Structure 1
Amino acid sequence: MATHGKGILIYFEAIMMETKIYQQKDIPEAAQALRAGKLVAFPTETVYGLGAVINNEASVHQVYAAKGRPSDNPLIVHVASPEMVWQYAKPNDLAVELMTKFWPGPLTIILPLQPGKLLSAVTGGLETAAFRMPNNAATLALIEETGIPIVGPSANTSGKPSPTLAEHVYHDLNGKITGILDDGPTKVGLESTVVDLSIKPAAILRPGYLTAADLTPILGEVETEMHHVAANEVPKAPGMKYKHYAPNAQVLIVQPDQDFSAVVAETLQHYPKKFGVLAFDQQLAKLPQAERLDTYSLGTDVSTGGHQLFAGLRDYDLQPEIKLILAAGVPETGLGIAYMNRLKKAAGGKFFTTGMDLQADL
């Protein structure tokens, strides 16, 4: 478990208490807890985040400890207005245009910092930081009430599927954090798009709900080739270096050009245990009824699939007898790029191939 300095003492005190569920009427109480150096999870339109005020080093270190997150994985700074950003970042005209068009919303912007304005615990020691203004009224009110931006990685155990419900956060972090601001299910379900404006041309470091096509009218040329982060390199954005989104079971991706029904039939024939199927409605409708087959709907298209993906992976984590999940892949265009980015990480890059030895490979 990664932790640092005096933050560990506060952290281990925190794990002795029951995590409180805050409602919107409790926002002043939640803000007071944040100002006091406590951890409070909060909703966004994408996933739930784990909040700590950015000016309290012990609190920021508690975030890493509660998640079991590597300390060189930088944190996204969540703000309630664009004006908050310029207290820390250097002026940037392109960023202003992006904020005007897409904020509040699922877009994170990496910017060069004014010297000495943010703790290295927030930035991972970099001279840049990632900023986002989430499209969630409860969280914007929480940040405003707190009076200072808050860090906000996904509120889950590091490496596990991101939380799209307060219940998911409670499952992972109960007893490790002070509270969770509950605002129901998130609306997008995939984390924000991360665009790096500290380099030219700008680069998308993490695909998300907003695509390159959405950003190019403002940015012009934008680099979309994902950078491979070396072992000794500090990533500029979450999700670039370490294992993410993985359930306890092994996920195998079924390519969109494969016959999904045939894949399930082959699995039923050669895999003797109960297994999960994460697929779209039109695929599920063609599957046989079988006692060893557990299905979870991704809805009708890639948009609903992106919304349901993490919830489906987490659902199978609640069924420890399931060690294998077949998951539907989609073409890697538009929103499908972000969907497949998360699914490949959840699967460890593994795909279903006809004739594979399922038991040996798992």
Structure 2
Amino acid sequence: MAERSPLLDLLAGTLAVEQLDGEGGSLLLAEARASGLLGRVANLLASSAQAGALAPHLQAQLSAATIHANRFRQDVWRELGAVEQALSALRTPVILLKGASYVLTGLPAAQGRVFSDIDILVAKNQMACAEAALMLGGWAIGKLDAYDQRYYRQWAHEIPPMTHLQRGTTIDLHHSLVMPTCRVQVDSSRMIAAAVPVRGSGFWWRLQDEDMVLHAASHLMLNAEFDRGLRDIGDIDSLYRHFTSLSVDFPARLIARAHELGLAPMLTQVLWLAWVFFKTPLPAHLLAVENSLFLRLVARAASTRHPDTRPAGQNWADLALLLREMYLRLPNRLLLAHLLHKMSFSVSKVETVTL
């Protein structure tokens, strides 16, 4: 049986670090590291002055995580400057998405957050120009077989990831917020059309407040990357709290916008998950969500990833949600072709190894 999770208790506000012994404190930080939340936990404990209750060697780990997160944020700013220089000749808004957008706009969700790539979006008719400009700036697409090239170029909402040849930084260049072939109809064109310039930037654009939450929600629920699911739900909790603190009518605007875009059911599911893990202060009517099998699978997959505290059956939840993602991404004909290709590729790899 898994141990009780100090990380989940801390995030839900039901744990005082003073209650932990040395082993419990070590488990808390190990859980946070496994879930991609060590920087956020370090920031949370520092802001509440609870870090001092931990053993000195654990405090040193938190300090190191804070230093790493701060240096990472500086690196993001540097990289955004390089991307801006590369794309400065484009005649279209360049929209920054997800983690890098949180950093650029100074949102609380950026505090302690570390991510692997920079996501940007341009109009589809500007994709070739943007790709060429990034190549001149030193980014390149890695070697892909003909099928994977076709998958990205014809069906996906982005081109293959581009990695800088010297710095090793990665850019995901999008033309849509979801795959055009997705079975769930998301009117991302309206979200893109409503994007706004980042104040003080002169170059970058971002999604409007409500759409930032809705994009984070759709990205979580239409994908199967739940090894960082707790971090992504934490983003949604942070965004919701921040925008609500700025405007008391934000929840009503968010719900109305979700209905406009066909994302109302998905939004209520994600907010329910945020309440489960982070006790997000939601109106009562948003908590009246059917606790379906799908939601239970997501909650299990998004929970702590530490071997001692991860919930039973998490691997099966991961598999079920991966199959769901594949089903949602592609219609039947393309899905069958995709599965056949991936199966043949796996078999060829096994044969190569055995030879």
Give the TM-score normalised by structure 2.
0.31
Give the TM-score normalised by structure 1.
0.31
Q: Which has the higher helix share?
A: 2
Q: Which has the higher strand share?
A: 1
